[in-house]
C-alpha cells in the first residue's frame, strides 16, 4: 500500500479535494458581501482571513483529518458507514434513533451536495465575463455544457478520472499558491491574521454582521464531509498526505493573498479572486478555474456514489445498478441512476439561480447540519466502540459541536434566500429511505414468522412422502438454512416436488475476484435437495 500512496495521493487531489480546492473562487467574496454595511477595512479583512485560517485548522485538520477519518467501517467512510459501525453496540431503542439520525445526515449530504457542481462551475465560468463583457450571455449555456460533459465521463471510473484530474488539480493548487504569494509579497503584514485575536476583534466590532459573514466563511470548509465520504475510494493515508503537503498550504496562501490585495486596494472586494490577476491573465486563469471547478464536482459525485452503495447494502434504498470500476479498490463505484439524477438537478439549479452569488445563499446549511450529526455519532463511536472515557469523548465532541453549532446558526440566515432547497431535498430523500426501510422490515418479519428450517422440511417429506415429478427446480434464497417461501408455497398447494431441488445462494465477497476452484460449494442434503453457494468477487458479474 505504501508504494501506491504517491499515486493515490495524486488521484485524491482530483477526486477528494476538488470541492474545497475551488472555494477560493467565491468564499472570500461572499464573506465580504454577506452583510450589507460590513466595512472593508483592515479589521474586517484580517478578521476574515483569521476566521478562514482557523476554520481550516479546526474543522478540516483537527476534526476530519485528525479524528473522523479514523472512524472507517472496513475501509469505507461517510455518515452511513459511521452509523453502521455503531449500531451493533447500541440498545434496541437507541439503535432506531441513531439509524434515523444517520439517515437524516445522509439525506442532507445529497441535498446540499447537489449545489456543489453548480456553484463551482458557475463561479468559474463567470470569470470569462470578467475577461470580456461580451461573453456574459454565454455563461449559463457554457456552465450547463460543462456539467453535462462531466457527468458523461463518470462511467469511465474513479481511477481513470482521478488519473486525469489529479495532475490538473496539482497545477491548480500550484496556481493558487503562486497567485497568493504574489500578493502577499506586496503586503506581508497579512500574516498577522494567524493570531486568533483578529477574529475575536472582528466579532467584537461587528457582532451581527460578523455572525452573518460567518455563514459565508463556512464555504471554505464545505468539502470536509466529502473527505470522509470518499474515504473508501483511496484510504486515509493518501487523503492525509494530500491535505498536509499540498492542499492546506495552497488554500491558506491563496486566501491570505486575497486579504493582502484587499489591504492594498479595497475596491477589488467585488471579486478578489479574479481582480488580482493581470488583465492579460484573467482569461487563462478563468480556463484553469473552469477545469478545476469541473474537478470540484467530482468530490460530490464520487461521494454520492459511495453513499448510495452503502445505502443499498444496508437496505435503506431499493437495489440499483452499481458498477465497480476498479479491480483493487472496492469503494470505486459508478451508479448510473444517481449520476444522471444529479446531472438533471444541477442543470435545473443553474437555470433557476443563474449566478454563483445566488447559489451561495442556498449553500452550506445542510452541510453544517451534517457535520453536527457526524460529531454526535463520533461521540457514540468513541464511547461504545473505541471504549473512550465519558470525559475524553465528551470533551472532544463538545469542542467539535461548539464550532459546528456556530456555523449552523450563521447559516440559518440563508433559509429564506435559498437555504430551504437542500433542506427540502433532504426531507424527500429521508422520507424515501425510512419508508423503504420500514417496508422491508415488515416483509422480513412476515417471512420470518412463516420460516421453516430446511431440516424440518426434509423431516416432513419423510413422514409424508410427496409426489415426485421428473426435472430440476432451482430456488434463489439468501438464507440457506431456511426453506425458500416459493418452495413452501408450491409444495403446500400441490403436494408435488421435483426429483431434484436446488437452493442457491449468491455470496459477494470482499475481494475483487474469486478463483474458479472456490466458486461453487455444493452440499447434498436428502430427498434430492441440494444447497449450492456461488461465490463471486465484487468486481464480477454473477452468471446463473
pLDDT at position 526 is: 85
Answer yes or no: is pLDDT of 329 > 60: no
- CA separation for the pair 145, 143 (Å, rounded): 5
DSSP assignment of 140-163 equals HHHHHHHHHHHHHTGGG-HHHHHH
Straight-line distance from the first to the last Cα atom of the chain, in angstroms, rounded to the nearest whole number: 35
Q: What percentage of residues in the chain have a pLDDT greater than 90? A: 32
The whole-angstrom separation of Cα 459 and Cα 444 is 25
So what's the pLDDT on residue 330?
A: 58
CB 21 within 8 A of CB 169: yes
Task: Fill in the DSSP letter of residue 70.
Answer: G
For residue 65, the model assigns a pLDDT of 94
β-bridge pairing 333-334 and 323-324: antiparallel
2-439 CATH, one of 3.40.640.10, 1.20.1260.120, 1.20.1740.10, 1.25.50.10: 1.20.1740.10
Instruction: Tell the residue number behind the cell numbers 498577522, with chain if given.
Output: 192
Residues 84, 73: contact at Cβ < 8 Å? yes
pLDDT at residue 92 in the model:
77
Could you give the CA distance from residue 396 to residue 346 in angstroms, rounded to a whole number?
Answer: 37
C-alpha dihedral, 163 to 164 to 165 to 168, nearest 10°: 120
Mean pLDDT is lowest, of 65-74, 158-167, 325-334, 417-426, for 325-334
Which among 513, 75, 110 is positioned nearest to 332, based on CA atoms? 75
Q: Is the pLDDT of residue 56 over 70?
A: yes
Give the strand pairing for 467-476 and 496-508.
parallel
Domain boundary assignment for the chain: 2-439, 454-536
| Residues 468-477 as b or e (16 or more Cβ within 10 Å = b) | eeeeeeebeb
Taking residues 344-361, report their average pLDDT: 87
pLDDT band for position 326 (50/70/90)? low
pLDDT digits (tens, 9 = 90+) for 222-266: 888 878 877 877 788 999 999 999 999 999 999 999 999 999 888
Alpha helix (H) ranges present in 186-313? 197-205, 207-217, 224-229, 231-234, 236-242, 248-264, 272-275, 282-313
Lowest mean pLDDT among 28-32, 248-252, 274-278: 274-278
Between residues 44 and 448, the one the model is more confident about? 44
Pick from 31-40, 96-105, 189-198, 323-332: least confident = 323-332
CB within 8 Å of 542: residues ≥ 6 apart = 506, 508, 534, 536
Under a CB-based contact definition with an 8 Å cutoff, are residues 300 and 121 in contact?
Answer: no
Question: Cα–Cα distances in Å, from 224 out to 293, 400, 522?
Answer: 16, 13, 48
Segment among 83-92, 200-209, 442-451 with least mean pLDDT:
442-451
Q: What pLDDT is recorded for position 266?
A: 87
What distances in angstroms separate CA 284 from CA 1, 175, 274, 290, 390, one per listed residue?
Answer: 38, 11, 11, 10, 54
**The predicted structure's pLDDT at residue 1:** 45
pLDDT classification of 162: cutoffs 50, 70, 90: low
As a whole number of angstroms, the distance between CA 307 and CA 110 comes to 9
On the question of pLDDT at 156 being above 80, the answer is: no
Residue 510 scores a pLDDT above 60: no
Find cell 440559518 and name the residue.
412
Cα dist from 385 to 58, 90, 277, 313, 521, whole Å: 24, 10, 51, 21, 35
pLDDT above 90 (res 130): no
Instruction: Point out the least confidently predicted range of 65-74, 169-178, 272-281.
Output: 272-281
pLDDT at residue 381 above 80?
yes
The answer, yes or no, to whether residue 341 has pLDDT greater than 70, is yes
Share of the chain above pLDDT 70, in %: 91
Q: Are 480 and 454 in contact (CB under 8 A)?
A: yes
pLDDT band, residue 131 (cuts 50/70/90): low
pLDDT-derived band at 378, boundaries 50, 70, 90: very high
Range 26-49 average pLDDT: 86
Instruction: Please name which of 400, 423, 428 lies closest in space to residue 411, comparing C-alpha atoms.
Output: 423
Q: Which residues pair with 156 in a beta bridge?
A: none
Q: In this predicted model, what pLDDT tens digit does every residue of 473-500 receive, in sequence order?
A: 999 887 777 888 888 888 888 888 899 9
Q: Mean pLDDT across the chain, nearest whole number?
A: 85
22: Cβ–Cβ under 8 A, 6 or more apart, which residues? 120, 123, 124, 172, 289, 292, 293, 295, 296
pLDDT grade for 149, boundaries at 50, 70 and 90: confident
pLDDT at 543: 67
Task: Evaluate the CA torsion angle 352, 355, 356, 361 in order and state its sign.
Answer: negative
Amino acid at each position: 500500500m505504501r508504494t501506491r500512496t504517491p499515486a493515490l495521493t495524486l488521484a485524491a487531489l482530483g477526486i477528494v479535494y476538488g470541492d474545497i480546492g475551488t472555494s477560493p473562487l467565491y468564499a472570500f467574496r461572499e464573506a465580504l458581501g454577506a452583510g450589507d454595511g460590513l466595512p472593508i477595512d483592515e479589521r474586517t479583512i484580517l478578521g476574515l482571513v483569521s476566521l478562514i485560517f482557523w476554520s481550516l485548522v479546526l474543522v478540516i485538520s483537527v476534526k476530519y483529518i485528525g479524528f473522523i477519518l479514523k472512524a472507517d467501517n472496513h475501509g469505507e467512510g461517510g455518515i452511513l458507514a459511521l452509523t453502521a459501525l455503531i449500531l451493533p453496540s447500541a440498545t434496541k431503542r437507541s439503535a432506531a434513533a441513531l439509524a434515523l439520525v444517520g439517515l437524516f445526515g445522509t439525506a442532507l449530504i445529497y441535498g446540499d451536495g447537489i449545489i456543489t457542481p453548480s456553484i463551482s462551475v458557475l463561479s468559474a465560468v463567470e470569470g470569462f465575463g470578467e475577461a470580456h463583457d461580451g461573453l456574459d450571455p454565454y455563461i449559463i449555456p457554457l456552465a450547463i455544457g460543462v456539467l453535462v460533459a462531466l457527468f458523461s465521463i463518470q462511467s469511465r471510473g474513479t481511477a481513470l478520472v482521478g488519473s486525469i484530474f489529479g495532475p490538473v488539480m496539482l497545477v491548480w493548487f500550484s496556481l493558487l499558491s503562486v497567485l497568493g504569494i504574489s500578493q502577499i509579497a506586496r503586503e506581508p503584514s497579512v500574516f498577522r491574521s494567524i493570531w486568533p485575536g483578529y477574529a475575536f476583534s472582528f466579532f467584537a466590532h461587528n457582532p451581527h454582521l460578523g455572525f452573518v459573514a460567518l455563514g459565508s466563511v463556512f464555504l471554505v470548509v464545505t468539502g470536509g464531509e466529502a473527505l470522509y465520504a470518499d474515504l473508501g475510494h483511496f484510504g486515509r493515508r493518501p487523503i492525509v498526505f494530500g491535505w498536509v503537503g499540498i492542499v492546506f498550504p495552497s488554500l491558506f496562501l491563496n486566501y491570505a493573498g486575497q486579504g493582502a490585495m484587499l489591504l492594498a486596494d479595497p475596491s477589488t472586494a467585488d471579486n478578489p479572486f479574479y481582480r488580482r490577476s493581470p488583465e492579460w491573465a484573467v482569461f487563462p486563469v478563468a480556463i484553469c478555474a473552469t477545469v478545476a471547478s469541473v474537478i470540484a464536482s467530482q468530490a460530490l459525485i464520487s461521494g454520492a456514489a459511495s453513499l448510495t452503495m452503502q445505502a443499498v447494502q444496508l437496505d435503506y434504498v431499493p437495489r440499483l445498478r452499481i458498477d465497480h470500476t476498479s479491480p483493487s479498490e472496492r469503494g470505486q463505484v459508478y451508479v448510473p441512476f444517481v449520476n444522471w439524477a444529479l446531472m438533471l438537478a444541477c442543470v435545473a439549479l443553474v437555470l433557476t439561480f443563474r449566478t454563483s452569488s445566488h447559489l451561495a445563499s442556498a449553500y452550506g446549511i445542510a452541510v453544517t447540519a451534517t457535520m453536527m450529526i457526524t460529531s454526535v455519532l463520533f461521540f457514540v463511536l468513541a464511547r461504545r466502540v473505541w471504549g473512550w472515557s465519558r470525559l475524553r469523548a465528551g470533551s472532544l465532541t463538545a469542542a467539535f459541536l461548539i464550532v459546528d453549532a456556530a456555523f449552523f446558526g450563521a447559516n440559518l440566515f440563508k433559509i429564506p434566500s435559498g437555504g430551504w432547497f437542500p433542506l427540502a431535498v433532504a426531507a424527500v430523500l429521508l422520507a424515501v429511505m425510512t419508508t423503504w426501510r420500514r417496508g422491508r422490515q415488515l416483509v422480513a418479519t412476515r417471512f420470518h414468522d412463516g420460516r421453516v428450517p430446511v431440516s424440518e422440511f426434509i423431516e416432513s417429506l419423510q413422514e409424508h412422502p410427496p409426489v415426485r415429478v421428473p426435472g430440476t427446480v432451482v430456488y434463489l434464497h439468501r438464507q440457506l438454512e431456511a426453506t425458500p417461501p416459493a418452495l413452501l408455497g408450491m409444495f403446500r398447494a400441490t403436494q408435488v416436488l421435483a426429483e431434484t431441488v436446488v437452493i442457491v445462494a449468491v455470496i459477494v465477497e470482499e475481494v475483487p475476484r474469486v478463483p474458479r476452484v472456490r466458486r461453487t460449494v455444493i452440499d447434498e442434503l436428502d430427498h434430492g435437495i441440494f444447497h449450492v453457494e456461488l461465490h463471486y468477487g465484487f468486481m464480477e458479474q454473477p452468471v446463473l
